[in-house]
């Protein structure tokens, strides 16, 4: 016979502590499979791992361990602090800092064997001068701007530094790279335009391994692979292309506990702003998750436009009313009473309502939702190997 205690464990492992209000399950087996698929699509090019922003909000250390176990040997992070954390996990990896060379911070890179991505002429000159001072041929990447107008050497800068070969004798240019602006749109002409500009500008620099592709670029084919690809969102289960099927396995499942249930009569309102009013006698569950946990406020539901459906077991439960800081209200009218009870769990993101489903509805992208996931959500890393240890 199913007890009340067992029912409250639907969709979460029995090991979840009693005081956990919401649970994020991170499937490292799926993560490794996603990276392996990207590695296969990259052909002869090396497949790196992008673990910036705390591995897209999922935890840099366990993600770096899992990718290392699968064979990843090159990582990209945004900040020096992330680089130091990654170095503590993988002593032998090549770790690139996408922020580049901060002024007067050269020793912080060299001290941890971190590689700045040099994206301007001053950065390149400072790194060359530092290496000359030390008498060490330290590695760095050089980034070229091929049309994104964000970070990277402009064509005029490339021409100037190309005329000074002594600059490149001072350090080891381990990689020359650029970044695709529209790789998530397979037919966008800017992809080929950037590739051709990349080839034209890098030909002016000393020969070095080359990298252009992010997640989308990895699926654009061999002309975009060069020597190394740098997938990010696809590793974490997000789609690489807009409007196309997603071949990646879901990595995250977010569930929240029911705090309270109440009956709502026809015409009664639910939540801030009274944006939802019941059109039938309803049973409403308030669950312990909100935008402070990373569930976007844009996923709120009104009577005219219901929010996304969470799940209790196999039963869909749509979000009704506004998502608030700590709470979401869902309609559990059609869920059998033994399942919709205080203390039970509602899955609000997972295999049935995916990361991409939610962000499409919210008018944003998977990167943002993942990066917003709060540390106050209890985390479980599933599929760890003995090398990864427990967390």
Q: What global pTM score does this model have? A: 0.91
CA 121 to CA 48: how far, in whole Å? 26
Task: Give the residue among 1, 9, 2 at the shortest CA–CA distance from 343.
Answer: 9
Rounded Cα distance, 42 and 45, in Å: 5
What's the Cα-to-Cα distance from 33 to each of 29, 61, 123, 190, 280, rounded to whole Å? 6, 18, 37, 30, 45
CA pair distance 329, 319, nearest whole angstrom: 6
What pLDDT, on a 0 to 100 scale, did the predictor assign at position 286?
A: 97
Closest-CA residue to 299 (of 255, 371, 374, 357): 357
Residue 89 has a CB neighbour count (10 Å cut-off) of 19
Q: In this structure, what are the phi and psi dihedrals at residue 367, rounded to the nearest 5 degrees?
A: -55, -45
From 52, 56, 109, 381, active-site residue: 52
- End-to-end Cα separation, the chain, in angstroms: 33
Q: Could you confirm whether 375 is annotated as catalytic?
A: no
Q: Which residue has the tokens 């941890």?
A: 112
Q: What is the C-alpha separation between 149 and 161, in angstroms, rounded?
A: 19
CA 101 – CA 153 distance, rounded (Å):
13
What is the model's pLDDT at position 7?
Answer: 47
> Is the Cβ–Cβ distance between 317 and 285 less than 8 Å?
yes
- Mean pLDDT in each 10-residue stretch from start to end of the chain (391 residues)? 47 84 96 97 96 96 96 97 94 96 92 95 96 96 96 96 93 97 92 97 97 95 96 94 87 96 96 93 96 94 84 94 96 92 94 91 92 94 69 38
Residue 9's pLDDT is 53
Is the torsion defined by CA of 32, 38, 41, 45 positive or negative? negative
Query: Do residues 276 and 321 make contact, with C-beta atoms less than 8 angstroms apart?
Result: yes
Task: Enumerate the domain spans of the chain.
Answer: 4-25+250-382, 28-235
Strands, E assignment, the chain: 22-27, 46-47, 49-50, 74-77, 94-97, 115-118, 139-143, 172-177, 210-211, 228-229, 252-264, 269-270, 276-277, 282-287, 309-312, 315-318, 328-331, 345-349, 378-382
Contact in structure between 381 and 251 (CB atoms under 8 Å): no
Show the tokens assigned to 225. 């692979």
Q: Is 143 helix (H, G, I), strand (E, B) or coil?
A: strand
Check: CATH 3.40.50.360 for 4-25+250-382? no
Q: Does domain 28-235 have CATH number 3.20.20.10?
A: yes
Residue with tokens 């381990």: 174
Q: What is the DSSP string of 310-327?
A: EEETTEEEEB-B---SS-
How much is the pLDDT for 390? 38
* Per-residue pLDDT at 386: 65
pLDDT of residue 302: 83
pLDDT at 12: 78
Rounded to whole angstroms, the Cα distance separating 6 from 123 reads 59
Q: Residue 138 in contact with residue 172, Cβ under 8 Å?
A: yes
204 as an active site residue: the answer is: no
In whole angstroms, what is the distance from residue 3 CA to residue 85 CA? 44
* Burial class, 305, CB count within 10 angstroms (exposed 0-12 / middle 13-18 / buried 19+): exposed
Catalytic residue among 40, 204, 272, 375, which?
272
Q: Where are the beta strands (DSSP E) in 164-273?
A: 172-177, 210-211, 228-229, 252-264, 269-270
Tokens representing 236 are: 């974490």
């Amino acid at each position: 016979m199913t007890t009340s205690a067992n029912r409250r464990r639907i969709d979460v492992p029995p090991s979840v502590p009693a005081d956990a209000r919401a649970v994020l399950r991170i499937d490292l087996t799926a993560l490794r499979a996603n990276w392996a698929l990207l590695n296969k699509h990259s052909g002869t090019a090396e497949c790196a791992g992008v673990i910036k922003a705390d591995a897209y909000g999922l935890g840099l250390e366990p993600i770096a361990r899992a990718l290392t176990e699968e064979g990843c040997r090159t990582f990209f992070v945004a900040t020096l602090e992330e680089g130091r954390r990654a170095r503590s996990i993988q002593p032998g990896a090549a770790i690139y800092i996408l922020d580049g060379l901060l002024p007067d911070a050269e020793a912080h890179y060299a001290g941890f064997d971190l590689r700045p991505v040099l994206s301007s002429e001053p950065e390149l000159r400072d790194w060359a001068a530092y290496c000359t001072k030390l008498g060490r041929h330290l590695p760095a990447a050089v980034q070229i701007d091929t049309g994104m107008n964000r970070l990277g050497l402009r064509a005029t800068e490339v021409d100037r530094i190309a005329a000074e070969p002594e600059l490149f004798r001072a350090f080891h240019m381990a990689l020359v790279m650029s970044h695709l602006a529209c790789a998530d749109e397979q037919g966008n002409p800017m992809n080929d335009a950037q590739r051709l500009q990349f080839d034209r500008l890098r030909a002016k620099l000393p020969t070095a391994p080359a990298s252009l592709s992010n997640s989308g670029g990895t699926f654009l084919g061999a002309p975009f692979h060069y020597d190394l690809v740098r997938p990010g969102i696809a590793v974490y289960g997000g789609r690489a292309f807009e409007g196309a099927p997603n071949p990646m396995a879901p990595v995250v499942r977010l569930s929240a506990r029911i705090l309270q249930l109440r009956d709502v009569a026809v015409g009664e309102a639910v939540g801030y702003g009274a944006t939802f009013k019941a059109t039938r006698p309803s049973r409403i569950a308030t669950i312990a998750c909100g935008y402070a946990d990373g569930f976007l406020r844009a996923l709120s539901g009104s009577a005219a436009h219901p929010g996304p459906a969470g799940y209790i077991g196999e039963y869909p439960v749509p979000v009704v009313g506004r998502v608030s800081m700590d709470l979401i209200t869902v309609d559990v009218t059609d869920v059998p009473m033994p399942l919709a009870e205080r203390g039970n769990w509602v899955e609000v993101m997972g295999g049935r309502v995916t990361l991409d489903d939610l962000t499409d509805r919210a008018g944003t992208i998977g990167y943002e939702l993942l990066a917003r996931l709060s540390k106050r959500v209890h985390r479980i890393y599933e599929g760890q190997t003995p090398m990864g240890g427990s967390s």
